[in-house]
Amino acid sequence: MRTSNGKLRSGDNLDVLKDQDSGSINLIYLDPPYNSGRDYNVVVEDSLAHEAAYTDTWTWDERSITTYSHLKLERIGSAGAIATWLQAMERTLLDVDQSLFAYLVMMSVRLLECHRVLSPFGSIYLHCDPNASHYLKMMLDLIFGKKYFRSEVIWKRTSAHNNARRHGPCHDVILFYTKSDKYVWNITYHARDGKEKYDGEDEDGRRWIRGDLTGAGATDGESGQPWRGVDVAAKDRHWAIPNRLRDEYQQLTGKLLIGSTQEQLESLLSSGLVVFPKKEGGVPRYKNYISERKGIPLQDIWTDLQPVTATSEESVEFDGQKPMALLERVILSSSNPGDVVLDPFLGSGTTALAAQSTGRSWVGIEMTPKSLLIAKRRLSEMFGPECFDEENDWPCDLEAAKHLAAVDKNKFEVWAVRQLRGVHSGKRGGGDGGKDGKFVMKGFSDNKTRLGLISVKSGALPISEVRAAQTILQNEKAEVLLFVSFKDELTAGKRREALGQGVFSSGHEDNPHVYPRVQFIAVEDMFAVADPATLARLPGFVTMPDLSKTKAGHDRELREIVNNLEDLLPQED
């Protein structure tokens, strides 16, 4: 078993990247969410059911607004260029596609960090789809420099798709950039497709195809002079003997190929390595022994790597899972044994597996608990649990959450707030008045946003704080307060106090949605869903069931909703 120094990090990759030393990474591969708006599923352990592993949706919320505000202050370097570019994009996108603009903002700060941590000799491969590749390429041009763009790789990721109104989409894009002109590059090869036609076979059984003995462009030198009655200059060519043919001649004769070009051609002919076409006056070719070829040098269209399907041997039934062969190709091309490979969106762990199998060190970052557990299981099954060290920036299960709450209250608060798509207050050790985080809601009748608050409890949840919620909401001019606590703190008495805080409405006259102003979210439940924010009942925040179908002004029906709210809140075991 190959051993390497693997590090598995849980948490927001932006936070983890900021902790990484500058220039410490040799190769970065990232396959970020594409802003497709769909849920990506994973098979549930020991069952045939599927659950969402992550939701591929980016929202223009308080966190992305805050990130953008900080970016706009940048004036120098690539960060300043990105800030200027985003402000131009803001005028184009913010009013028509807030989700896309949020995606660009959040990706930009991560790519800036990727550039910082990358070695001067390093490379980055950004895997995306055609929906966003043109935006990301502009972003990479600004951060890495247009001169360091190397390739736009097209990977055929699926078989033909029938689509009546457009060409069937079947490919992904992989953008390849380097940090400088001095970067690691190992020539790799496509496997031969088996469709090549052999031109001949020697008596010893070696098969060959005809190879070109000329190069483009005529010349006045000796390589442009006629040989055996063939004037290649008349065809705007010159004689060119490839290195593989020189090696073949040396192996066959034990001699170096020397002399003038015409003398070298004669030596090759006498050794049986050159053949003339049957047509008189045709240009001679050399014998290219295909059985000894490594393959075809890697091009920028990859059609030879099969995608992972439900029936694939390596499948873990994780939507978006990439094949090991694809990651191995990237790693072998742009790194050497012992180098450090980083994947800030680790997903099911394929990059870590490919790095481990090729003798590289690696760092994998993943924020989704379900994905992290799958990556750990795959690594442990293939290489043993000793192949990686785990640094739990964020908990991936309930026991880890309890441990974090006990040893680092502030980090526990940050984790819980981030899980609910909020922005942490930044205050440590209290002093925040029970307001550990904030978030933004949309979907109201006046098209304005509303503020929501988050209060995280790593220990006891005093009932006095639930009673004080109304005052906190009034002081902060917020609509809702979410209490995050462990389930044993959510007693019936606290639920009754929460009900007494009332409800708020979306304000739509024809069908107002009504939501409780104080809600409880159990830490235990945050590991049961792909997107913990769906545990809250909020307008314009996440997709969730309606709590009301009443019309405005119907007090009787509104009271009925309040009376029934207890059925909608988390219940005690």
The pLDDT value recorded for residue 548 is 34
How does residue 161 score in pLDDT terms, banded at 50, 70 and 90?
low
Name 363's bridge partners: 7, 342
The pLDDT value recorded for residue 517 is 92
Rounded to whole angstroms, the Cα distance separating 225 from 258 reads 17
Q: Which of 68-72, 140-144, 295-299 has the lowest mean pLDDT?
A: 295-299
The pLDDT value recorded for residue 73 is 87
348 vs 563: which has the higher pLDDT: 348
pLDDT in tens, 491-538: 988 988 888 888 888 877 666 678 899 999 999 998 888 778 888 888
How does residue 98 score in pLDDT terms, banded at 50, 70 and 90?
confident
pLDDT over 70 (residue 50): no
**460-489 b/e (C-beta count within 10 Å ≥ 16 → b):** ebeeebbebbeebbeeeebbbbbbbbbbeb
| Residue positions counted in the chain | 573
pLDDT over 70 (residue 193): no
Across the range 120-148, mean pLDDT stands at: 94
pLDDT over 60 (residue 304): yes
What CATH number belongs to 401-568? 3.40.1350
CA torsion 316-321-323-328 (nearest 10°) is -110
The pLDDT value recorded for residue 200 is 84
Rounded to whole angstroms, the Cα distance separating 496 from 494 reads 5
pLDDT over 50 (residue 307): yes
Specify whether the CB–CB gap between 519 and 537 falls below 8 A.
Answer: yes
Specify whether the CB–CB gap between 551 and 509 falls below 8 A.
Answer: yes
Q: Which helix (H) or strand (E) holds 166?
A: none
Q: Percent of the chain beyond pLDDT 70? A: 83
Q: Percent of the chain beyond pLDDT 90? A: 39
Rounded to whole angstroms, the Cα distance separating 416 from 1 reads 38
Residue type, 135: Y
Biggest distance spanned by C-alpha atoms of the chain:
105
How does residue 570 score in pLDDT terms, banded at 50, 70 and 90?
very low
How does residue 315 score in pLDDT terms, banded at 50, 70 and 90?
confident
How is the chain split into domains, by residue range? Answer: 6-190+297-394, 200-294, 401-568
pLDDT over 60 (residue 564): no
> What mean pLDDT is reported for the chain?
82
The pLDDT value recorded for residue 560 is 45
Q: Which of 99-103, 356-360, 469-473 has the lowest mean pLDDT?
A: 99-103
The pLDDT value recorded for residue 266 is 94
Residue type, 52: A
pLDDT over 50 (residue 417): yes
- Written as six digits, the tokens of 138 are 């502009």
Across the range 199-224, mean pLDDT stands at: 87
- DSSP state at residue 169: P
Spatial CA neighbour of 457 closest among 479, 480, 437: 437
The pLDDT value recorded for residue 149 is 97
Rounded to whole angstroms, the Cα distance separating 106 from 101 reads 9
Rounded to whole angstroms, the Cα distance separating 134 from 151 reads 13
15 vs 530: which has the higher pLDDT: 15
The CATH H-level superfamily of 6-190+297-394 is Vaccinia Virus protein VP39 (3.40.50.150)
Q: Which helix (H) or strand (E) holds 25?
A: strand 25-30
pLDDT over 90 (residue 346): yes
Residue type, 48: L
The pLDDT value recorded for residue 465 is 92
Give how far the C-alpha of residue 238 lies from the chain's centroid of Cα atoms, to the nearest Å.
47
